[in-house]
A = this chain, B = another copy of it.
Amino acid sequence: MRSCVLLLSGWFLSTHSLADNVFKSDYSEQFLDQVAQLREQALSNQLAYELTESLTTEVGARLAGSPGDAKAVAWAEAKFKSLGFDQISLEPVTFEKWTRGEESAEIMAPYPHQLAITALGRTHPTPETGLTGELVHFATLAELEAADPEMVKGKITFISNRMERHKDGSGYGKAVGARGTAAQVTAAKGGIAAIIRSIGTDNNRTPHTGAAKYDKKIPSVPAGAISNPDADLLVNMLSRQQAVSLKLTLTSHFDGQYTSQNVIGDMLGTDQKDQYIVIGCHLDSWDLGTGAIDDASGCGLTMAAAKLIRDHLGPLKKTIRVVLWANEEYGLSGATAYHEAHKHEMNRHILGGESDFGAGRIYGLGTRVGEHALPVIQQISSMLEPLGIEYQNNTSSSGADLIPMRKAGMAVFSLKQDGTKYFDYHHTANDTLDKIDRDELAQNLAAWIVVTAMAANTEQDFGFSLTD
């Protein structure tokens, strides 16, 4: 838990005197009434859903570097235009492209079965004809880390740790370490491949992909996630105390450099148009589903919020910048590239928020802002209350694509969604449009409108927090 927010930035102090940090509400009654009205209208507005439907239907899967990536960029540019954004920019994002290949896993003995498996992002390929080895089972990543290399040498490791279901998704952080490092830890101990129980809360034969840690200098091995029912089966089979052998074929591989784009749409402000409220989503997705909850819905929400604000409230003081980030999933490449390109003007990035946790009903607002900005946050929070949203704390972190800017000090907010079901579908073939409830999405839209409009229409800043 982080409990204090530091005000430390050179650039912040150079442009703002401490006196500015005394909060004076500059919202007119008329503006607040208009926001409240638009909030209610949004609850029956379909634009976020229509955009989400359009991206998932007309583009679908859009793994960074794949043909879907280029289609998504074209889709985003065309949508920003048709929605009437004032300014549209494409900014190049270059990364090493990773390509999924064939993937299969077959128990050879004692009881042959085909397992549902998917390669973990950025892991090494097996030979094209596969590799075969005996399984060695660890209940957790920690057990693998503690294991004698002699146990692992020449074998395929299997971590069966089960992710917990929580509304706030907190089971993910506890479980995802296995996905990140099983391949490297296995390699370090002389193992030949690694499989893990999927990092997910479902019981479907739809394995969860996701990025493994990758560093050219650190040895690694082919690695995949098997579906949760298949993990149960393996555990039951292993309990019979007979050697279990597996044939694994995972021919995914790196495939040269690729340049995608961050696609940026601005709704320009009036007297503070060079100050940005940065909202957005990531435009790429994993390749197994159509990336509906991860993260087409985030794109639909933030694009629709900016559009409806402009249509109903007119241009506001600051610019609303919607960034559709490139290659979040296996590189945070768009986030890194944007920060690199804009680091000289971080002080113009006033507040940021990313929607990247599905489309469940929002129950909380979190922030990481300067303490002097908490009164305006309180005012925003009051406007969210009719949506069933309560203020949480000032130690929130928002979406992954904001990490580089947050680390550089940008204030952020987080509209916390009910993630009870999110990890049933996250990174699987099951991430499709039907997982989105129109009413819940519309409640999200209303919340994004409230926070974005109010942040963009105050002359206040939101301070600066140097953390991490």
Give 1 or 0 for each of A200-237: 1 = CB within 8 Å of chain B CB.
00011110000000000000000000001100110011
Selected from B205, B228, B233, the residue in CB contact (under 8 A) with A57 is: B233
Q: Does A193 contact B (CB under 8 A)?
A: no
Q: Which residue of B lies closest to A59 (CB)?
A: B111
Give 1 or 0 for each of A55-72: 1 = CB within 8 Å of chain B CB.
011111100000100000
Q: Which residue of B lies closest to A231 (CB)?
A: B434
Q: Are B57 and A237 in contact (CB under 8 A)?
A: yes
Residues of A26-64 at the interface with B, using a CB-CB cut-off of 8 Å, are: 53, 56-61
In the complex with contacts A228-B434, A233-B57, A429-B203 CB distance below 8 A: no
Q: Are B57 and A236 in contact (CB under 8 A)?
A: yes
Q: Are B57 and A434 in contact (CB under 8 A)?
A: no
Q: Are A205 and B429 in contact (CB under 8 A)?
A: yes
Q: Are A204 and B203 in contact (CB under 8 A)?
A: no
Q: Are A229 and B59 in contact (CB under 8 A)?
A: no
Selected from B114, B206, B236, the residue in CB contact (under 8 A) with A206 is: B206
In the complex with contacts A229-B432, A429-B116, A429-B205, A60-B236 CB distance below 8 A: no
* Complex Cα spacing A116 to B435, Å: 16
Q: Which residue of B lies closest to A53 (CB)?
A: B236
Give 1 or 0 for each of A105-131: 1 = CB within 8 Å of chain B CB.
000001111101000000000000000
Given contact pairs A203-B435, A233-B290, a sample of 20 additional A-B residue pairs in the complex whose CB atoms are under 8 Å apart: A57-B111, A57-B233, A59-B111, A60-B113, A60-B233, A61-B113, A61-B114, A67-B112, A203-B432, A203-B434, A205-B206, A205-B289, A205-B428, A228-B434, A229-B432, A232-B433, A232-B434, A233-B432, A233-B433, A236-B433
Can you report 16 A-B residue pairs in the complex whose CB atoms are below 8 A from each other? A56-B233, A57-B111, A58-B110, A58-B111, A60-B111, A61-B114, A67-B112, A203-B430, A204-B206, A204-B430, A205-B206, A205-B289, A232-B433, A232-B434, A233-B290, A236-B433
